[in-house]
Amino acid sequence: MITPEKRFSKLIYKADNICIISHHNPDGDAIGSALGLYHILKKKKKNPVVIIPNHLPDFLQWMPSAENILLYQNNPNEVCKKLAECNLIIMVDFNSLSRLGKMENCFENVTAPIVLIDHHPYPDIKAEVMFSDIRVSSTAELVYQVTQASGLIKNIGKEAAACLFTGIMTDTNSFTVNSSRPITYKTTAALLKYGIDKDEIYRNVFNTFSTERMQLLGYLLSEKMVIIPEYKTAFISMSLAEAKKYQFKTGDSEGFVNYPLSIKGIIFSAFLMERKDHIKLSFRSRGNFSVNKLIAQHFSGGGHKNAAGGEVFNMTLEEVSQKLVSVLPIYKELCD
């Protein structure tokens, strides 16, 4: 029997033009995994290109070769052409084509084989080869392990290591969540051997906020955080007007949802953000409280057990807040 790793290395061997794609509103793991693979394939003398649907957040722009990433929102025709003409497509850090937004339309003309590397539950992408494991901390960790098992490890260099480290660091919130398996540290240790400066990477990602973002966070925590001790819940909502007052930029709300979880006794935290035509939701939890289920059952969205997100259309910020509060009693037993 040929293993998926063998089939993966065969597909790489045969392909020259390789598209690496990741999801809408990419995070550190999406970009870290994609650029990590990009550097590995470059070293293997392939012709890879990283494609994402939209905006690369500021805190990831320092990453090596970030300037070469192709954005669908800026070049929809060029992206569709590249996807139709390439010999191999590698998808990282998402489980459904719907996470690509409008870029999904390009797939009508795709004939190249697809490889999926991801750690979200229930992947629904038709892939020739699939590496899907919800136990790994991050897709970046899985990319390293797949690279190792596929005989590509000698193509990892310092740049790939920095990208993959960033994916692991951001998806584990600096090794505080999803990071209890020894293999995560073995992988991280292996990446550190390439001479990357992990402290500099941390500063590049986490210490780059504007004064206004800090003030917005202070305002939201002091004026907008609602605590519901009965359900061990805390949530914050932010209107468009509030965002505007603090000169909000994409990426500024990164991490906001995590703050309430550092309050003693809180196991469920939500951040609700008003956007032009929808409300964006981010949910986080501790332990058995499955935010993935809550968001899928009552709002539109999905993700992991302890971290999920979604978007709600046709409801106001106030209505979404009220609905959230109204469904909490259903989850009462999880709070005991």
Q: Evaluate whether 218 touches 256 at the Cβ level (below 8 Å).
A: no
The residues in 207-266 that bind Mn ion, with binding defined as CB under 5 A, are none
**DSSP string covering 265-312:** T--EEEEEEE-SSEEEEEEEE-TT--HHHHHHHHSSEEE-SSEEEEEE
Q: Is 219 exposed, middle or buried (0-12, 13-18, 19+ CB in 10 A)?
A: middle
29 touches Mn ion by CB under 5 A: yes
> Of 54-62, 138-146, 250-258, 322-330, which segment contacts Mn ion by CB under 5 A?
138-146
CB of 28: closest distance to Mn ion in angstroms?
Answer: 8
119 exposure class (CB count in 10 Å sphere: 0-12, 13-18, 19+): buried
Residue 51 or 92: the one with the smaller Cβ distance to Mn ion is 92
Looking at the Cβ atoms of 101 and 151, the one nearer to Mn ion is: 101
CB of 94 to Mn ion, least distance (A): 8
> Nearer Cβ to Mn ion, position 29 or 254?
29
Q: Using the rule CB under 5 A, give the single segment among 42-50, 166-174, 207-215, 274-282 that binds Mn ion.
A: 166-174
Shortest spacing between CB 298 and Mn ion, in angstroms: 23
List, in order, residues 6 or more apart from 250 with CB less than 8 Å away. Answer: 25, 55, 57
CB of residue 185 to Mn ion, shortest distance in Å: 18
Look up residue 287 and give its amino acid: G
Helix (H), strand (E) at residue 48: strand 47-52
- Binding flag, residue 118, Mn ion (CB under 5 A): no
How far, CA to CA in Å, does 197 sit from each of 209, 279, 290? Answer: 20, 38, 35
Q: Which stretch binds Mn ion (CB under 5 A): 39-47, 102-110, 130-138, 237-245?
A: 130-138
Considering only CA atoms, give the Rg of the chain.
20
CA 296, CA 282: separation in Å to the nearest integer? 12
Is the Cβ of residue 139 or residue 321 nearer to Mn ion in the bound state? Answer: 139
Cα 89 from Cα 118, distance rounded (Å)? 14
Interacting residue with Mn ion among 141, 159, 171, 254 (CB under 5 A)? 171
In the bound state with Mn ion, the residue whose beta carbon lies nearer, of 237 and 285, is: 285
Only segment of 11-19, 23-31, 75-83, 98-106 that touches Mn ion (CB under 5 A): 23-31
As measured in angstroms, the least distance from the Cβ of 318 to Mn ion is: 31
93 binds Mn ion (CB under 5 A): yes
Q: How far apart are CA 121 and CA 133, in angstroms?
A: 8
Which lies closer to Mn ion via its Cβ, residue 260 or residue 309? 309
| Beta carbon nearer to Mn ion, 82 or 304 | 304
Pairing of strands 278-285, 268-274: antiparallel
Give residue number: closest CB to Mn ion.
29
Q: Which residues bind Mn ion (CB under 5 A)?
A: 29, 93, 138-139, 171
